[in-house]
């Protein structure tokens, strides 16, 4: 056998082996792990568990489990996924932190752009809410009240790097008004103090505000998305912040699916194809609507468009966080 023939034969065998490997994914009996860089029971954990259910069928009934690797503003779990074997069996489900941690943390143990992007999952709108005794009854009145009480207004958030912290930073920048920010260790204590009138207002995810708005325990003023919300119904009459005068204001807390760098393209495609099926699953859509989330139904469900979207979000949030001078490390 000539050396050239041996080389050609070896190369052909390697290609066949790679093809077989891609076709076999996921292999029978293998388990896929979704790393969630937050504690069990939170919004991102719920999204991941709902997604795991919806992904099982298009992935041939594969067992999918959740690994909650919380801490350090999502960076511990994200780093764990980054270091995982690039075989498609360890994936990451995380939120907008994928775009904000590069600015919040000056030393990250991973590079966002080096992940494999498997598609955007959903978006959760934000809503500006106030204490029940706040004099303002609409966003125009709220901005007037903020101007009249300059230097006395306080705004709650669930902690550095949280969704409410990020939305608050963007809101202060858009209003060109500095306020006293009051960080809490999580949404629950922040919401308790807002309902009790200890803080004036906050900007948080609909997943965290809907039941309180429905119960008239807090006031709702405007939503952060480019279009008005139709679900949950309690928000349908609220204007967008863009309508209310903050032109171009668009903040949402989105979730995406990622694989470690070097995961074979065929495996990423299989995962992306399965995700697209899951995003059309009526049960999954209903569960996400129950959270106040909007399932992605546009090009961002594609890997390449998902990556472009995250890169644009990194570019959007970086200057806002740096201008505030608030870092997590």
Q: CA-to-CA distance for 94 and 77, rounded, in angstroms?
A: 9
Cβ–Cβ < 8 Å for 291, 43? yes
- At residue 239, the pLDDT reads 96
List, in order, residues 6 or more apart from 60 with CB less than 8 Å away. 26
What residue has token string 């000539």?
A: 2
Instruction: Report residues of the chain scoring pLDDT below 70.
Output: 1-23
303, 263 Cβ separation under 8 angstroms: no
Q: Answer yes or no: are the C-beta atoms of 324 and 169 closer than 8 Å.
A: yes
The model's pTM is 0.84
Distances (CA, A) of 8 to 20, 22, 38, 233, 246: 18, 21, 49, 64, 63
Among the listed residues 278, 263, 210, the one whose alpha carbon sits nearest the alpha carbon of residue 49 = 278
CA 92 to chain centre: 12
* 34 Cβ contact list (under 8 Å, min separation 6): 48, 51, 52, 64, 65, 66, 67, 91, 92, 93
- Domains of the chain and CATH, by start: 28-123+253-324 (3.40.190.150), 125-235 (3.40.190.10)
Residues 6+ away with beta carbon under 8 Å from 79: 108, 109, 110
Query: Of 110, 111, 116, 112, nearest to 96 (Cα)?
Result: 112
Q: What is the pLDDT of residue 9?
A: 44
Peptide bond into 260 cis (omega under 30): no
Q: Identify the H or E element spanning 36.
A: strand 31-36
- Distance (Å, whole) CA 141 – CA 12: 71
| pLDDT score, position 69 | 94
Residue-level pLDDT at 326: 80
Which ranges in the chain belong to alpha helices (H)? 3-24, 43-56, 75-83, 97-104, 139-148, 163-175, 187-196, 206-214, 265-278, 282-290, 303-324
Query: How high is the pLDDT of residue 186?
Result: 84
Please give, one letter per residue, the 3-state secondary structure of 133-158: CCCCCCHHHHHHHHHHCCCCCEEEEC
> Residue 94 in contact with residue 73, Cβ under 8 Å?
no
Using only C-alpha atoms, what is the Rg of the chain? 22
């Amino acid at each position: 056998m000539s050396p050239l023939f041996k080389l050609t034969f070896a190369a052909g065998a390697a290609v066949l082996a790679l093809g077989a490997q891609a076709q076999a994914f996921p292999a029978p009996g293998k388990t896929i792990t979704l790393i969630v860089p937050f504690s069990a029971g939170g919004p991102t954990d719920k999204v991941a568990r709902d997604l795991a259910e919806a992904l099982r069928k298009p992935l041939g009934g594969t067992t999918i489990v959740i690994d909650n690797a919380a801490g350090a503003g999502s960076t511990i779990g994200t780093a764990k996924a980054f270091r995982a074997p690039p075989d498609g069996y360890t994936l990451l489900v995380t939120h907008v932190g994928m775009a904000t941690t590069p600015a919040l943390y000056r030393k990250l143990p991973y590079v966002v752009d080096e992940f494999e992007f498997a598609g955007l999952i959903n978006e959760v709108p934000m809503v500006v809410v106030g204490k029940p005794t706040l004099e303002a009854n609409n966003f125009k009145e709220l901005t007037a009240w903020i101007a009249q009480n300059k230097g006395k207004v306080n705004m709650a958030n669930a902690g550095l790097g949280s969704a409410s912290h990020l939305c608050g930073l963007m809101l202060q920048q858009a209003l060109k008004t500095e306020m006293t920010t009051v960080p809490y260790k999580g949404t629950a204590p922040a919401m308790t103090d807002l309902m009790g009138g200890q803080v004036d207002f906050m900007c948080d995810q609909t997943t965290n505000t809907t039941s309180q708005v429905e119960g008239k325990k807090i006031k709702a003023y405007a939503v952060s998305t480019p279009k008005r919300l139709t679900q949950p119904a309690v928000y349908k009459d609220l204007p967008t912040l863009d309508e209310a005068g903050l032109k171009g204001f668009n903040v949402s807390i989105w979730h995406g699916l990622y694989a470690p760098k070097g995961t074979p393209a065929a495996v990423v495609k299989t995962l992306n194809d399965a995700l697209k099926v899951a995003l059309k699953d009526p049960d999954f859509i209903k569960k996400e609507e129950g959270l106040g989330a909007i399932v992605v139904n546009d090009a961002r469900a594609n890997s390449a468009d998902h990556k472009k979207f995250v890169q644009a979000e990194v570019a959007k949030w970086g200057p806002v966080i740096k201008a505030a001078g608030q870092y997590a490390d």
